[in-house]
Amino acid sequence: MVDRKDLGSWMSGPDTSHISKYPGERLGLPETGVGSIARAGRRILALIIDWALCMLIGYFLFQGAALATLGIFLVEQIVLVGTLGYSVGHRIVNIHVVRQARAGTTEFAAAGLLAGVVRGLLLCLLIPAVITDPDHRGLHDKAMNTILVRRG
């Protein structure tokens, strides 16, 4: 027979035991400082810097064609994030992209060229970057198991 205690109560509220205290805790990252998850302010500022730079390049090379700006942005993401782990904007705001070496571990490695390609393509679609999880990872990061962390 089902008892009232089996059903719980609306007064007890939702179960919050699985919710982490800060973004990145479930990934084994520190709450603040070097290696912590890059927050939205830094991410947005890096994106603005990258987009402005790509617009400037597009203006001089392609007379400001909008599609050219998107293409330049994609190439920047693929080449720089794929090889160095950061774009120009990331470098200016002191963040970089790393990849979990093995799922469920706290070992991290360089993002890699494939991650640069997939992340860049998904970033150009915009929506995957806007949909985030509790660790502030967008769908573009989840797809390649990458994390945007603070450098310092």
Strand order in the sheet with 95-100: 108-110, 95-100, 146-150
CA 121, CA 91: separation in Å to the nearest integer? 20
36 with 149: CB under 8 angstroms? yes
Q: What is the pLDDT of residue 66?
A: 82
How far from 26 is each of 37, 42, 95, CA to CA, in Å? 11, 21, 20
| Domain spans, the chain | 34-150
Give tens-digit pLDDT for 102-145: 665 667 788 889 999 999 999 999 888 888 888 888 888 888 88
- Residue 148, beta-bridge partner list: 97
Q: Is the pTM of this model over 0.85?
A: no
Residue 16 has pLDDT above 60, yes or no: yes
Residue 92 has pLDDT above 80, yes or no: yes
Give tens-digit pLDDT for 28-75: 888 889 888 999 899 999 999 999 999 999 999 998 788 999 999 999
Instruction: State the average pLDDT over residues 90-98.
Output: 94
